[in-house]
Structure formats: C-alpha cells, structure tokens
C-alpha cells in the first residue's frame, strides 16, 4: 500500500469543522505560546477568518493532525506563535535530523554569524498584544 504523505500542516475538513464548533466561534488560543497570559484565552471572534494551528504537537510530527491537536485561532494568535515558537522549533528539528543523518556543517570555522534582524517598521498599525506593555 502506497503512502501518500499528507501536506504538512493540513487538518482534514471534519477536524476543522469540529474544532470550529468546539471553539464556539471564538479564538481558542491560550497561554504564553500565543502571546497571552498563562491560562488566558484569546476569545477573539473568528468570524473574520479562522486559522487552525497545530498545538501542542508540531505540524512536523506524525499524528499531529487530530482534533486534540487542532486549535481554532485568530490570525493574530497564529502569527504570534508561528514567529516566536514554530519557527525556532522547526529549525531545531532540522538540525537534530541533520545530525542524525550524519550531515554536518561544512566547516568548523565560524564566522561572526548573522546580526539579529532589525525591528520591523513596516506594520501599518502598531500590534499590541495582551500581556505586553
Ligand atoms: Zn486569538
């Protein structure tokens, strides 16, 4: 039996429907991972657009596409988590996997590396999140 890999980050339609129903139409994201206080739920109305986030199992993991790992959340929460949580996790996963496969950096010589990115100035409005001053 051939296995067709599911595109990464895809929940099935029934899972999306169930997650949205469970959410009551309000963003389910909660806690620091989404830029909120511990235990605080976002509750933003999802009528303007809902996104489905993989949590707590990263989308890169097997069996991450079930309802229990599907968070119906608003764009703001999803974006915050993607920037601050998912991308660092994925980078780490990749490094670990490379090491496992015997892929090593081409040289032990280290350059100074990249400077940290400049603060972003292109946002059209200031993004202020709950829990941040
Ligand atoms: Zn939210």
pLDDT at 38: 95
Q: Are strands 51-54 and 70-73 parallel, antiparallel or unpaired?
A: antiparallel
- Gap from CA of 96 to ligand 1 centroid (Å): 31
- Gap from CA of 26 to ligand 1 centroid (Å): 8
123 pLDDT more than 60: no
User: In whole angstroms, what is the distance from residue 64 CA to residue 1 CA?
Assistant: 22
95: Cα separation from own chain's centroid: 18
- pLDDT tens digits for 20-55? 999 999 999 999 999 999 999 999 999 989 999 999
pLDDT at 6: 47
Domains of the chain by residue range: 13-99
Average pLDDT over residues 8-13: 82
- Gap from CA of 29 to ligand 1 centroid (Å): 5
- Gap from CA of 92 to ligand 1 centroid (Å): 26
- Gap from CA of 51 to ligand 1 centroid (Å): 9
Contacts of 35 (CB under 8 A, 6+ apart): 77, 80, 81, 84, 129, 130, 131, 132
- pLDDT tens digits for 108-118? 666 666 677 76
């Amino acid at each position: 039996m051939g296995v067709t890999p599911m595109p990464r980050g895809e929940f099935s339609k029934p899972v999306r429907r169930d997650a949205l129903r469970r959410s009551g139409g309000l963003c389910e994201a909660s806690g620091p991972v989404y830029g909120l206080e511990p235990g605080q739920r976002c509750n933003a109305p999802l009528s303007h657009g809902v996104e489905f986030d993989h949590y707590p199992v990263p989308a890169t993991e097997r069996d991450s596409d079930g309802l229990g790992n599907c968070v119906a959340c608003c764009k703001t929460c999803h974006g915050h988590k993607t920037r601050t949580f998912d991308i660092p996790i994925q980078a780490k996963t990749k490094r670990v996997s490379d090491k496992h496969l015997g892929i090593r950096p081409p040289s032990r010589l280290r350059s100074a590396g990249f400077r940290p990115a400049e603060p972003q100035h292109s946002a059209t409005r200031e993004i202020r999140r709950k829990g941040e001053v």
